[in-house]
Amino acid sequence: MSPAAGGGAPGPGGGVPFGRRLADAVAAHGPLCVGIDPHRELLAAWGLADDPAGLERFARDAMAALAGQVAVVKPQSAFFERHGSAGVAVLERVLADARESGTLVLLDVKRGDIGSTMAGYADAYLTDGSPLAADAVTLSPYLGFGSLAPALTAAAGSGRGVFVLARTSNPDGAQVQTAQVQTAQVQTARVQLADRDGRSVAQAMVNAAAAENAGCTPMGDVGVVIGATHEHGLELSGLNGPVLAPGLGAQGGTPVELAVRFGELTGVLLPSVSRAWLEKGPDQAALRAAVRTWQDELAGAIEQAGATQ
């Protein structure tokens, strides 16, 4: 049995794979993923200084509003890193707050490298005992999907997950992601698979993730990232894993569009909202009310889409 299928050492969920823990969290709270993105402008809007103290107040207050209310929170590492070591220390405390509350954390770091460097990132974000370890992280596969092997192995062994960039919402991403592949062997952590001529690079990434998730129940631990703001043109019915769909709210994505675009998905859809939620702060009641509104709108859109299929 592969580690992702249920083996491996106990991790943040007591040995329960990430795919199972995510499915349970979504069943309890709905599919909304809420970002914690401490933009300079948002700190100012909350009446906070753009320094480590302001960052900590912002991020930990946001986390307190989300704790136990949503399936997944998604801190954006870059906005902590820009404050140097003090900002990274704040991120560590936010991750600790989430662990205490039992809320799943998807840390948005978009790391991607080769060999021992990728193994170093895996140690930092996907290994028990690391202060930066999260339940899952985002990864960039554009040095080749096989370059992610150290992270995939570490995640599977510790009960964590990864979300691999496939079809992002930025216009420049299409240059690479919609390019067609020639027939070639795509190396995953455990298997090789052939991609036929004419498939997009983004589809090749989805296929590689699907190969990692094969046979896992209720779904695998390898998700993909697909922007919520445009038609993605991808075949997702065989993914057997989660999809992170950023862009809800401020970037223009709507619950109704998401429910239609991802109707064929066999895993879990995680629509992500960040700025449109954070703009309701710093009042905790307003933040929680905004979360409930987004959750209700998503539930209604998904129910309506299911009724029309």
Give the catalytic positions in this structure: 110
Report the interhelical angle of 115-125 vs 149-158 (nearest 10°).
Answer: 30
The burial class, CB within 10 Å (0-12 / 13-18 / 19+), for 288 is middle
Across-strand partners of 139?
111, 164
Q: What is the DSSP letter of 181?
A: P
DSSP string, 236-258: -TT--S-EEEEEESTTSB-HHHH
| Percent of residues in the chain assigned helix, strand, coil, to nearest 5 | 45, 20, 35
Residue 252 and residue 229: Cα distance in Å, rounded?
6
Contact by Cβ (8 Å): 268, 243? yes
Residue 260: which residues within 8 A CB-CB, separation 6 or more? 305
Q: What is the amino acid identity at position 13?
A: G
User: Which single residue is written with the structure tokens 């302001």?
Assistant: 54
Report the interhelical angle of 84-101 vs 52-66 (nearest 10°).
Answer: 20
Q: What is the amino acid identity at position 266?
A: T
C-beta neighbour count of 215 within 10 angstroms: 11
Q: What angle do CA 150, 152, 158 make, to 5 degrees?
A: 100
